[in-house]
Amino acid sequence: MTHYFAAIPVPFKLVQEKLTSCSLHYDLPTHYKVIPHPDDLHVTVLFFGGLTHPQLELVKQEMQKLAERTHAFTIAINGISFFGNPIGPRVVYLAVSNPSSLTGVYRELSKRLETVLQKPAALDYTPHVTIAKKKKNTNAVPIIQEQFEPLTLDVSGLILYSIDPAASPKYSPEFIFPFINSSRIDG
């Protein structure tokens, strides 16, 4: 069964300098199994997991309804952080400031899809752009949280992605849901 998620694409050009410097500084490819393909960079809004065809159709309907009521907005990528132990975190990411617009999209979509996905909406949401995950070994790789000059990203819609773990890039845009007042969205 194919797995899906809703996300905001992040252009490689926008984060290339920060991603490269972080990767070199911490030697991420040596310590992590998964370094995302440049075309796979995104901010996940909601992970759906495996969906049946009827579930997929309902997800698309709800994403369309949400997009038709959501105005385009801006987010900022503004730091380096991690999930897990700071000595060797399981995920290293570029931090995203959490404006109310992004949190609102997350909350509304998760609430609307609780019944379809048969799981309650999570209370916490940490928007981020994963740059490394799945440690290769138990060696210490101390990651220091840091802030940098914000990189702004205009969010003009949501994309429903499918996942193919064997492919590179792994994520394929299946459907694009433009927000109100958006000129375009890249997939």
> Which whole-number Å values give the CA distances from 70 to 1, 88, 187, in the listed order?
30, 38, 18
Residue 19 has pLDDT above 90, yes or no: yes
CA distance 11 to 156: 13
- Rounded to whole angstroms, the Cα distance separating 133 from 31 reads 9
For 65-88, b/e burial (b = at least 16 CB within 10 A) is ebbeebebbebebbbbbbeeeeeb
Cα–Cα distance measured from residue 50 to residue 48, given in angstroms and rounded to the nearest whole number: 7
Strand 171-178 versus strand 128-135 pairing type: unpaired
**Higher pLDDT among residues 185 and 109, named by residue:** 109
Mean pLDDT of the chain: 92
Quote the tokens at residue 113. Answer: 């899809």
Q: What is the pLDDT of residues 154-176, one digit of tens each?
A: 999 999 999 999 999 999 999 99
The alpha-carbon radius of gyration of the chain (Å, integer) is 17
SS3 state of residue 142:
coil
Q: Could you confirm whether 42 is annotated as catalytic?
A: yes
The CA–CA distances, whole Å, from 65 to 30, 51, 151, 157 equal 43, 19, 29, 12
Fold of 3-178: Cyclic Phosphodiesterase; Chain: A, (3.90.1140)
Q: Is there a cis peptide before residue 36, judged by omega within 30 degrees of 0? A: no
pLDDT category, 98, cuts 50, 70, 90?
low
Any idea where the domains of the chain sit in the sequence?
A: 3-178
Which tens digits make up the pLDDT trace of 105-156?
999 999 989 887 887 777 789 999 999 999 998 889 899 999 999 999 999 9
Task: Look up 128 and say whether it is catalytic.
Answer: yes
Q: Give me the pLDDT at residue 182, please.
A: 62
pLDDT at position 187: 47
Convert the pLDDT of each residue in 61-94 to its tens digit: 999 999 999 999 999 999 999 999 989 899 999 9
pLDDT of 108 reads: 93
The HSE-up count of residue 56 (CA atoms within 13 Å, CB side) is 14
pTM: 0.92
Percent of the chain with pLDDT over 70: 96
Which position among 3, 25, 37, 42 bears the catalytic label?
A: 42
